[in-house]
Amino acid sequence: MSSEIKIGLAQINVVVGAVESNVDRIIEYAQRARDDMQCDLLVCSEMVLTGYPPEDLLMRPGFHALVEQQLERLCQAVSGIDLIVGYPKKETAADGTSSMYNMGALISDAKVQQAYRKIKLPNYAVFDEKRYFDAGDSACVFDYKGIQLGLTVCEDIWHHGPIEMAVQEGAELIININGSPYHANKIKERRGVVCERAKKVNTPVVYVNQVGGQDELVFDGASFVCDGNGAVVHQMVSFDEALSAVTVGKQSDASLALTGSENVPEFEPLQSIYNALVLGVRDYVRKNGFSGVVIGLSGGIDSALTTTIAVDALGADNVDVIMMPFKYTSDISKEDAYLEAKALGIKYHVISIEPMYDAFVQQLAPVFEGYEQDVTEENIQARCRGLTLMAYSNKTGRMVLTTGNKSEMSVGYATLYGDMVGGYNAIKDVPKVLVYELAKYRNTISPVIPERVITREPSAELRPDQIDSDSLPEYEVLDPILELYVEQDCPPSEIVAKGYPADDVSKVIRLVDRNEYKRRQAAPGVRITKKAFGRDRRYPITSGYRPKVD
């Protein structure tokens, strides 16, 4: 081989806005890639200096001054290895107009030698890049130790144009840096798209992705390298930080040979989703400086799965649970909550809500006179529990993890300021049927969730003999209707045409639409579907639009 380079791939879990400490991490990885792997070049992810997405931090002049300062520090601090990094850059023209770009840059010999402005700016789903950035319009191709490298950023590889432009200008290898968030099946989908693009232009691609949780988003990493035939020759781990290397050599016929050092197998779908939930919880709690979490462990499936995720994310010492029984709480629920807490080795408290419920009802009796008991009394129970959890949180510094699943959040089957209280929700984007599947999957690792929790009929236990199906369609019917309406934007007539009862479809759609106000007040939670409540789906609270079943 006439030319050969060793490229390091750095999958770093950075913190949005923590520019100085992010640069420290990049320096650390660069030194490891240089000293331990003898790499010539280290490739980091999109916006690695700031973390992705920095959102309206990009509106602050002081933030850009910090980025420029730390970019210069990075240039001066690293020697003996070159870097490709991503960052935002604000530029002011001679006429005083300013532009902002999502940049990728080559750092060599203590300065930025090559710079690329991202061309394709995503503005759908969770992305708002056109709110902040201007689009670039030209390729960035440069000679690197005898090999022509083309630099691109994330969305550029999903569309026709930027990659072709780079290849037309002589790129023999595409470097694509990414902040690509996870949803179920995203890893396979992403790899398929990139490999197909590489095959079409007959050019290898080095794909480096961010890893870690950022508010509702989880970035899965899963960086990889594919050759010009679209075959993956190097696959890194998902949902964890990692550093690896691939060797790229130019052969006598001028073609490139790529030799990877890793081939990590892909996780099964349930394992991948579960790992995303664990990573999202871990990073939200740790990056926001909480000492741990507290959960209301009811003996039901949602709190059982949430508690298990929390222990896997944070360790048993950092998870406390409180069982808050009332006269409608079954002995089975009390027993199962205790058994799970014991199996997980976590601190378990029992605080009855009956005295505080009685006190509330007694104080409210004069103004409730003449009214029959209804959902109000059920909500008071939930709010007693919410008050208890928040008091414990305030006193101990442990954040409340709320436990509502996506099915409940969709139709408003939850109590504001009651079971909805909390700082974060591990299963906010997990439909009820998937909650059960994840619980069964987790028990294959170690049986910590009691079998009765999985097999018994779900109930809020807010009145005698209550079960969820008293108020909602069976979850096996409800969840598919919600997926079609919420995630796929199907009109009611199409949902009915797929075989779902018109009465159920009408009821579910009415509940979804009228409970937008609740979802706006809900805690953020891990996104694992293509359309989660929050950044993905933005509907008005006040709306006169009412879709009808034909």
Residue intervals of the chain classified under CATH 3.40.50.620 are 271-472
Please say whether the beta carbons of 530 and 536 come within 8 A. yes
Q: Of 21-35, 74-88, 123-137, which gets the smallest average pLDDT?
A: 123-137
Dist. CA 111–CA 128, nearest whole Å: 30
**186 annotated active-site:** no
Q: Of 6-20, 221-235, 326-340, 468-482, which gets the smallest average pLDDT?
A: 468-482
Give Rg (Cα) of the chain.
26
pLDDT digits (tens, 9 = 90+) for 102-156: 999 999 999 999 999 999 999 888 889 989 999 999 999 999 999 999 999 999 9
pLDDT digits (tens, 9 = 90+) for 286-299: 999 999 999 999 99
Please say whether the beta carbons of 85 and 107 come within 8 A. yes
Of 412, 419, 426, nearest in space to 512 by CA: 412
pLDDT digits (tens, 9 = 90+) for 360-412: 999 999 999 999 999 999 999 999 999 999 999 999 999 999 999 999 999 99
**226 annotated active-site:** no
Average pLDDT over residues 476-482: 93
The larger pLDDT score, comparing residue 539 to residue 422, is at: 422
* pLDDT attached to residue 1: 44
* pLDDT attached to residue 264: 87
Helix (H) or strand (E) holding 392: helix 375-396
Average pLDDT over residues 475-484: 93
Claim: this prediction has a pTM higher than 0.75: yes
pLDDT digits (tens, 9 = 90+) for 192-225: 999 999 999 999 999 999 999 999 999 999 999 9
* pLDDT attached to residue 2: 56
Contacts of 45 (CB under 8 A, 6+ apart): 10, 11, 12, 52, 86, 177, 178, 179, 208, 209, 210, 211
pLDDT digits (tens, 9 = 90+) for 82-103: 999 999 999 888 888 899 999 9
Domain at 3-260: CATH code: 3.60.110.10
Dist. CA 131–CA 467, nearest whole Å: 46
Task: Indicate the DSSP class of residue 418.
Answer: T
Domain at 271-472: CATH code: 3.40.50.620
**46 annotated active-site:** yes
Q: What is the DSSP string of 179-247?
A: --B--TTHHHHHHHHHHHHHHHHT--EEEEE-EEEETTEEEEB--EEE-TTS-EEEE--BSS-EEEEEE
Q: What confidence tier does 229 reach under pLDDT thresholds 50, 70, 90?
A: very high
Q: What is the DSSP string of 490-521?
A: --HHHHHHTT--HHHHHHHHHHHHHTHHHHHT
- 39, 75, 154, 195: the active-site residue: 154
Please say whether the beta carbons of 233 and 245 come within 8 A. no
- 6, 39, 44, 46: the active-site residue: 46
Q: What confidence tier does 462 reach under pLDDT thresholds 50, 70, 90?
A: confident
Residue intervals of the chain classified under CATH 3.60.110.10 are 3-260
SS3 assignment, position 267? coil
Name the pairing type of β-strands 3-11 and 41-43: parallel
Q: How does the average pLDDT of the chain come out, rounded?
A: 93
SS3 assignment, position 419? coil
- 6, 89, 118, 518: the active-site residue: 118
Dist. CA 174–CA 157, nearest whole Å: 9
Tokens at 463, concatenated: 């009145």
Q: What confidence tier does 537 reach under pLDDT thresholds 50, 70, 90?
A: confident
